[in-house]
Each structure stands twice: as C-alpha cells, then as structure tokens.
Structure 1
C-alpha cells in the first residue's frame, strides 16, 4: 500500500476562491458592509429608558453583533492567511484596508450599543438581563455595561475608534510588514544562506552550535541596525495607548489586560509569587545543560539546542502520523478533528521564502474550520509548534455551536488549549521512549517550555511594566529599551542566562500587538492551568474529553476564576492552586538533573549523543 503524502500547503480556496483576487471575497465584504448598516438602523430604533418589553429588540441587536463578529473573524482570518503565505501580496494588503474600514464602522455602532446599556438604570437593567431573550448573553452584556466609559460622549468615543483604525493599528501592521521584509545572511555549514526572519529563528534548534551562534549574531546585527525605527514604532503604539487610557480614566496599565483576560489581579499576583519562589530548579537545569554543551553558563543561542539527535530530522508525514496517533488516544472528538485538519489541508507548513515569521492559528467560524500557519523544518520543536497551533484550532472546533457574542474567549484560556495539546504529545512520546537518550530529549523540550513560561514570559512582563512607566514621562530611546530588556531578563532568569538577546524588545511581536496589551502573562496562566487539566484528564480517562469540551465552550461566557471553580472546583486566587502545577514542572527539572548524571553525554559537531 502506497504511503500517504500529506499536503504542506493549505487550501484557502474552499474558504474564498481566488486568493487575494477573489471576486467571491469582494462580494462578501459588500454583504458585511450591509450587515453593519443594518445594525446601525437597528440601534437607531431603540433608546433608553428601556422597558422589559423591549428585550426582544435588544436581543436582535445582540444577534446582529454576534453575526458581525463571526463575519469579521472570517474576513480578517482570510486576509491574515494571504499576507502570511506571501508577505509581498499587495492585493491582500489592499483588502485589509477595506475590511479595517468596515470594522471601524462596526466598532462605532458597538460603542453606541454599550453606551445605551451603560445608561440604563440599575433596577431596570437587572430586570432586563433576566428576561429569556437576554439571559444567555448575561455575562457579556454585563461586561460591556461595566467596562463602558460614561464620561466620554459618543463623538469622543467614535473619534478614538477612527484614530485607532487609521493610526494606532496601522503601526502594528507596519511592524509585521517590516519584520516580514527583512532578509538575514546566515552561514550554515560553510554556506551563506539568505533567509527570512522566520527561517533564521528556526535555526535556534539546529544541531550545530556554530550555526545557532551565527544565526543569533546575524539577527542581533539586523536588530541593532534598525533599532531606531523599531523604537519609534513601539513608542508610538505605547504613546497612543497611554493617551487613550488617560482620556478613558484607566489608572493602571494592567487594568485593561486583566479585564480583557477576565482575570482578577489577585490571580496574577498569586501566580507570579509561586513562580518567583521556584526559580532555582530551572536555573539548575540551565546550568546543567550548559555544562553538557561545554560552557560554564547557558548562552541564549544554545537554549533551544537539542541534547541529542535521537528524534530529529522528522519528515512532515512522520509528524502527521505521530500527532494523529497520540491525539487519537485522548478521545474520539479530537481524533476526528485532527484527521479532518490534515485530510482537508488546513495546515500551511512548507519551508519557503516570503512567508511570515510567526506561527499562528486562524479561525473561520462561518465554515467551522481553522487554518494553521507554520514553517516546518523537520525538528521535534517544529512538531510541538504545529501541535500548539492545532490546540488553538481544537478550541475553535469546540466553540462551533456557541453563538457569536459568546465565542470570544480571553487569551489566557486560549493558551490553555494549545498547551494542553503539547502535554498530550509529551506524555505519549515519553511513554514510547525506549532509551534514556530519547527520554532526555523529550524532558529537555518540556523544560524549555517551563523556562519560557516562568522566566522568558516573566521577563516580558517585567519589561512591559517598566517600559510603560517610563513612556508616561516621554519617548524611551532604543538604548534605554535595550537596557530595560537586559535588566528584566537578568531578573526573570535569576542571572542564569548568558549573552541574552537584549534586542528581544524588537523581535518579540507581542509588544507590537495593538488589540491587546501585555500579551505575555496569559501564556504562563495557560501553561500552569493546562497542567492541572491534564492531571484531571489522566485521572478520569475516556470520560474527560466531554468535560474538556464543556470547559472550552464555557470559556467565552465567564471569568477565568469562575471557569476554573465550575470545572475544577478550585480557587485560582490562592497560591495553593499554582503550587500544584509548579510541582510537576519542578519534578521535571529534578528528573533532568538525575538522568543527565546517569547518562554519559558526548558532544559532537551535530549535537549531543548519549554514550
């Protein structure tokens, strides 16, 4: 029987035929514009004070909003996919501008709706929200009402929305385009190669240390060369955000991201407190790995180095088989989902020029599909990246039956699903590992994730906090940004990282995301949360998949504290919850030290082999 070859290039034509020249998509945009106009007409037909008899009218408005959310997601995902598969696609860039205009008009109407809700008297609101028409939207509508700024007029709020579309968000798009246009000359095994940023970053897991170092240094040189430009972009984004905060009464830079993630400050404080108390085991891991490599301390360009080549050079078809097999053991829903994703070409994995640098998952809620974007280079790390994005896609799959307004879940929970998928692969791979060498490789990859979440993400969080405090005073220079980054890395890594990339403020795209500030701590939340969920899954076995799907479906209609209490029965504002997840990670670090002391490791030019 001939072995199946899985397609490495995704199929976008069954979403909208014709790519960036799609006439079908142009018609779709026109229909979306009409939908926003219909919402505007509907909003004009109502005005407070409401009565409970008008709940049906409000329900119609909410349903319009949900439908527009879904349609905008479909449109933006399509354009994002076009621009990522070919960063030079000018037609796609033009389409983005058209959709951004429609989105701006929609945001104005949404703002008007939120103002109507905020202007409703409390006693009447309490009656309205309990009507059968609105009860299903209770959490989101209360959130809109509570988060609406009552001190701004509609005109002022609409002006801010206009400026965001044409200025603020444009800086974010410019950053993406700039990074995607950069080419890097890297010497790989004696040959100079011209690579995209994404391809150069992929070399961080290359077996040969000299190649990893060459790539690191080449990227650092590029960032240094362009640091002034990137500093301007970052300062403009932060400056605009702070100005909006000032006008809307936001007192702390954490206030908005915490609200967006539906999380209490006590939760994030408890999480970071536990992490700060448990840095030493991960510092020991880094030091031990550096020792194996032959260095006195862990150099940043060696962090992703493979400790051996036992499960390297994985072909794409092998990766598909591995993922399908392990996901299938978890449950029938996940098995059917992953089969559909690969069979129907939802994955863009080809390694080629002019692709964007950053992996992602795009949701297409109208067709009940997702698309996963990555550059597959044949390493176990690439497999894990693919699995991570498939986790996001499974979350989208779980939300298929949820209405448009309640589909919008916070990032913290989104990262839970993606990390949970990684845990499935780690667990299954560890069980199948027959040699100590294989176990060491798998354990090393798990610990890399712990270090990323407990140290790297912490450094991003510290940097962003301090940068915004200084930005309140004025423009922060490129030199000062580099200093702040270096200080944050040294603190977060407990001094255990040598030659860190102090230009990570340039190449970390999360700082430049305009729709969501502090795009960092939710990763750590999701990581530790997923460990708790995975432990529950192992306890319950086959019965757990149903509970897991229910948790994902609820993720758009309650706070994370309520979500965890409902499905896990624990209080995440207490350190006790976070300590349980941390215990698993600390055991991994201890096992790594133990395993490397019983296995002789020999350094070779192609990596590390157990003797």
Structure 2
C-alpha cells in the first residue's frame, strides 16, 4: 500500500498558533472579556418585555448569548486539547482558569436573562414567539422558560456559579490531571513497559491473555492504592451537586440529565425495560466466547480479546485509507469531510506515554473544524475508536451553519452520530469477510458494542443511581463504592462476567464529569437509535445522506421524542421502538453462537485487514 504519510500528531496551530503560549489565543480571551462585558451592560438595561414591540431587544440579547457561547466553545476546546496532549502543561491550566472566570460571568448574565424570560406574562410571551424574528429561537426560549430554577434568587444563582468555577469544576479537572499522571508497569512481549493509563487500557484487546491479565491486575493494584483519593473526589462532586439540587427543589438526581438530554423519563424507562427483557442472548454470547477460550464463563480481562490470535497490526495510514474508502460509500459530504480531517491533521493519534487516557472529539465552531484525540495502537478496536470520534466530528460539521444557541445538542443524539459511523465500518467489514473466521471476528467486535451498551452501560447507570441515594445520607467510603459497583455489574451482566473490575468507578471518567450526572444512558439511546437510522440509510443508499444531515442539524432544537417522530416517524416512549433495534442485536448474538458451534471453524488466526479491504488490494 502506498504510504501517504498522514500525521499522527494533530495541528493546533491553525486554530491558535503557539500552543499554551499563544498570543493569538490571549487576544481571543480579551475579545471574550469584551463580549461578556458588553452583554453585562446590555442585560443591565434589559427589562421584562411588556409588549411585542420589544422583541428586537430580546432577539439581540439572544444572538449575543449565542455568539459568546460559540467563542467560549472555541476557547474551551483549545484548552482541552492542550491539556490532553500534555497534562502537566501549567500554562494551559492557567488559561483554563482565566476562561472559567469569564464563563462564570457569562453564566450569571444568562441566568438573569432566563429569569426575565420566565417573568414575562403568558399572553405577551405567546405573542413574542409568534413573531418571525424569534422563529429560530422558539425552542430554546421555551426551554429556558420551562427549566429556569424558580427556587433561587439571582444572588443565590450567581453565588453557585462562582463556587462552580473555582470549586466544583476544579474537582473534575483534578481527577483528569490525576488520572493522566498515573503510569503503569506491564509485561509486554517479554519486556517491562512503563505505560500511561490509556496505553494500559489498550492492552485489553491484546491477543495474548497473559498480557491482558497482567495489565488488568496492574491497573487494579494502582486503583487499590489510590482508592481513598478517588473516593474523596467523587464524593465531593456528588455532594456539591446534591446540595445545589436540594436548594433548587430538584427531587430526583435523574431530573437534570433527562432535561439536558431533552428526553422524557418514559423514553428512558421503555429503553431499559426492553434491554432487561433481552439480556439472555448476550449472556449466551459471553459464555460461548469464554468456552472458545477454554473457560466456563467470561473473565473481564478477556472481554475485549479477539476471538482469534491476530499478530498483525494495522498502520495508521492504512486505517485512514480504509475509513475514507468506506465512508465514501455512504455519501460525498462524509467522504470529503473525513479526507479533510486526515489531510489537515485534525487527529492526535500518536502512541506515547504522558498523554491523556481518554479519547474525545473537540469542536471548534468558529473555524468550522474539530480535533480528535486518541491513542492509536494498531488494533481493530483502535480503528473503531477513531471512527467513533470522527462521527462526533461529522456531527459538528453538520451543525456549522446553525446559529450559536442551536448548535448545542444533547449527548443522547451526539452518541447517535458516532455509533452510526461505527456501523458503516462494521457493515463494510462484514460484507468483505471471505471466511467464517473473518465473519466471526467482525461479528464479535460488533457484539462487544451491544454488551457494552446493554450490560456495561446499564451497570454504570445502576451504580450511579444507588451511589447518589447513599450520598444523600453522607460520605460513601471507597469500600462501599466497590460493593455498589460489584453489585451493579453482577446485576447488569446477569452474573455472566467473572473477575470484573469493582474499581470501574475509579477509572470510568464519566462519573467525574461535572457538567451533568448520568453520562451513561444516552450512550445506549444513541446506540439503538443509530441502528434504526442506519437501517434507513441502507434502504435509500447515498440519497439518505441529505436526510441524515437534516436530522443532525435539527438535533440542537428539538426534543428526542420530536426528533425521532419527525425523521423516522416513531414513538420512542413505546417499547415497540426499542425492540426493533434490539431485534437486530439479538439476531447477531444468536448467529455468533450458531456459527461457533460448527465443526469447521478454526480459532487460531484471523486476518482482520483482509476483512476490511477490497479483494486484491495490497496491504
């Protein structure tokens, strides 16, 4: 294969030149300060509308808020990227503090505007919303009016905002810094290597069991050593959140994430109900895979293992070419987008120590770009991670023409785009599989996603529910956190997983995200939703790309229920909707067990490159 020489280190200089010492970025911070200062002055003279002729003032304020939000996103994404590539970058940490202070001022003014919106009389409000000038903002304005905290005064809201900037959010930053500073000694290929947490976690898919097992227990030892510190961080984050909710009159900790995901509780409950009814086929899959590896049940450190030993590595350039090739089969915009991402070095993929352990996508709305961060170790799992994050980036691309306020879409829909991108690769790989062995390899990787969404994510959800209930009564000890995690895993996996990491609460970063709790159930929503969308895409071919882009563009200005009804004509509060996606996954689990029961299957070696490339293509 021709070596194209794609860069493995991203280019941040064409966003702001000079990294954490960038004068260009300092100028951006100054502009932000001016924008927020102007907003403060404008809000100071902004009063509750009493007539429809005041709509211009409201629209101007809303547009200013959207403009600041876009500029803040640009700044926060840049700092996130700096600290991911170099977690000990003190200059970047200082910049983060400066931007946090500006963001705190912005949030105060936003709260004031929301209060004014809430205090507007209903007849005036309805008249305002009927005016053409407000057309683009009707959904977000109604959302402000419905969700505003009526229990706290402006002074109390401002005080909480200040505390969040320098206290609450700081715990999340501290967690990320602590996790990034940890190194792990693991035996790989007969040599002891000093790895980052991200590199050690990548060994979960290593073809040799001793390496997977060694990495698993090396990490467990680290978590045990530092469990008290991580328990303090988690308890402080949850304690602050619960106190704010109590003062705000929020009765259930789930109330906030459901609102943020623009989702009804009935939708979430219908989804989990269907998942609970259909876990048996996935337990059977785990048991069968364990038997293929010589065990009676699945050991946690073997879950990500390929079902056959593949000693091949896929190079980054090869991954870039195959992703572009398969994305091009879906549509021209997706193809052009992914070519630009690789050609312009939007991706940080270098496999090195001393970088963040967490893969992510950061959007830069001002420049219409994104940046993807991961550690590419040459496995099929790494290819899927890369594709997943590129899906997020394509969602950002789809939103580039949308105004500032409507660019922000809920996490549930965000995970739909990333999962959809994975489906493209899985489907292409399955079509090109030339043998049962190749087909099983791809099928196994796909089923891992189902298990993660139906069992692992469910365990996270159960743990977080129970943890918050106990945290209401006081500090939850590290030992108790381990018990809660172990019980949740046992229940969610139907007892089909051996030697699970009860320290999952330590190394799962989602629990430490201070923006919102329950950063879990939207993944499962996105997974099943993506299956439905992808089924439509296969029916319509390249013509569907336009519909897909329209769906993504609507994602920032509709509820989950309305979005699905508009673009798929489905009611997601009913179990029937979720059963359609579940049926696809169950068939795959049944097929895996059936195929592996045949006598003519060999488990020694699988060429996953062969399953991804066109016949005759040289690799």
TM-score of the aligned structures, taking structure 1 as reference length: 0.98
Check whether the contact 2:312–2:607 (CA below 8 A) recurs between aligned residues. no
Could you say which residue in structure 2 is the equivalent of 1:184? 184
Check whether the contact 1:347–1:372 (CA below 8 A) recurs between aligned residues. yes
Could you say which residue in structure 2 is the equivalent of 1:52? 52
Could you say which residue in structure 1 is the equivalent of 2:617? none
1:207 aligns with 2:231: no
Q: CA shift at 1:44, angstroms? A: 1.3
SS in 1 for 2:304: coil
Could you say which residue in structure 2 is the equivalent of 1:593? 593
Q: What is the alpha-carbon distance in structure 2 between the residues aligned to residue 434 and residue 166 of structure 1?
A: 57
Q: CA shift at 1:49, angstroms? A: 4.1
TM alignment of 1:94-243, pairs within 5 A = 94-243=94-243
Q: What is the alpha-carbon distance in structure 2 between the residues aligned to residue 599 and residue 545 of structure 1?
A: 42
1:35 aligns with 2:35: yes
Change (3 A) 1:152 1:81: same
Q: CA shift at 1:604, angstroms? A: 6.2
Supply the RMSD in Å over aligned alpha carbons.
Answer: 1.4
Q: CA shift at 1:3, angstroms? A: 3.1
Check whether the contact 2:310–2:606 (CA below 8 A) recurs between aligned residues. no
Change (3 A) 1:186 1:234: same
SS in 1 for 2:174: helix
TM alignment of 1:336-415, pairs within 5 A = 336-415=336-415
SS in 2 for 1:598: coil
Could you say which residue in structure 2 is the equivalent of 1:467? 467
Could you say which residue in structure 2 is the equivalent of 1:83? 83
1:548 aligns with 2:548: yes
TM alignment of 1:418-567, pairs within 5 A = 418-567=418-567
Q: What is the alpha-carbon distance in structure 1 between the residues aligned to residue 408 and residue 75 of structure 2?
A: 16
Change (3 A) 1:532 1:253: same
1:20 aligns with 2:20: yes
Check whether the contact 2:387–2:421 (CA below 8 A) recurs between aligned residues. yes
SS in 1 for 2:130: coil
1:112-154 alpha-carbon deviations (Å, 9 max, x no partner): 1101101111111111122112121000011011111123111
How many residues get paired?
Answer: 608
Change (3 A) 1:297 1:55: same
Check whether the contact 2:274–2:578 (CA below 8 A) recurs between aligned residues. yes
SS in 1 for 2:356: coil
1:75-129 alpha-carbon deviations (Å, 9 max, x no partner): 0000000100111111111110111110011000111110110111111111112
Could you say which residue in structure 1 is the equivalent of 2:9? 9
1:141-185 alpha-carbon deviations (Å, 9 max, x no partner): 110111111231110000010111111000000000000000111
Q: What is the alpha-carbon distance in structure 2 between the residues aligned to residue 603 and residue 417 of structure 1?
A: 33
Could you say which residue in structure 1 is the equivalent of 2:319? 319
SS in 1 for 2:4: coil
Q: What is the alpha-carbon distance in structure 2 between the residues aligned to residue 134 and residue 575 of structure 1?
A: 36
Q: CA shift at 1:434, angstroms? A: 0.7
Q: What is the alpha-carbon distance in structure 2 between the residues aligned to residue 109 and residue 200 of structure 1?
A: 44
Q: What is the alpha-carbon distance in structure 1 between the residues aligned to residue 311 and residue 341 of structure 2?
A: 24
Check whether the contact 2:310–2:607 (CA below 8 A) recurs between aligned residues. no
Instruction: Return 39-48 or 599-608, whichever deviates more.
Output: 599-608
1:453-490 alpha-carbon deviations (Å, 9 max, x no partner): 00000000000000000000010000000000000000
Could you say which residue in structure 1 is the equivalent of 2:264? 264
Check whether the contact 2:207–2:309 (CA below 8 A) recurs between aligned residues. yes
Q: Note the residue ranges of structure 2 that are not aligned, 5 or more in a row.
A: 609-619
Change (3 A) 1:600 1:175: farther
Q: CA shift at 1:190, angstroms? A: 2.0
Check whether the contact 2:171–2:236 (CA below 8 A) recurs between aligned residues. yes
SS in 2 for 1:185: strand
Q: What is the alpha-carbon distance in structure 2 between the residues aligned to residue 538 and residue 497 of structure 1?
A: 34
The runs of 4+ residues in structure 1 deviating greater than 3 Å are: 309-312, 599-608
Change (3 A) 1:605 1:380: closer
Check whether the contact 2:511–2:518 (CA below 8 A) recurs between aligned residues. yes
SS in 1 for 2:367: coil
Q: CA shift at 1:533, angstroms? A: 0.3
Could you say which residue in structure 1 is the equivalent of 2:308? 308
Q: What is the alpha-carbon distance in structure 1 between the residues aligned to residue 257 and residue 599 of structure 2?
A: 45
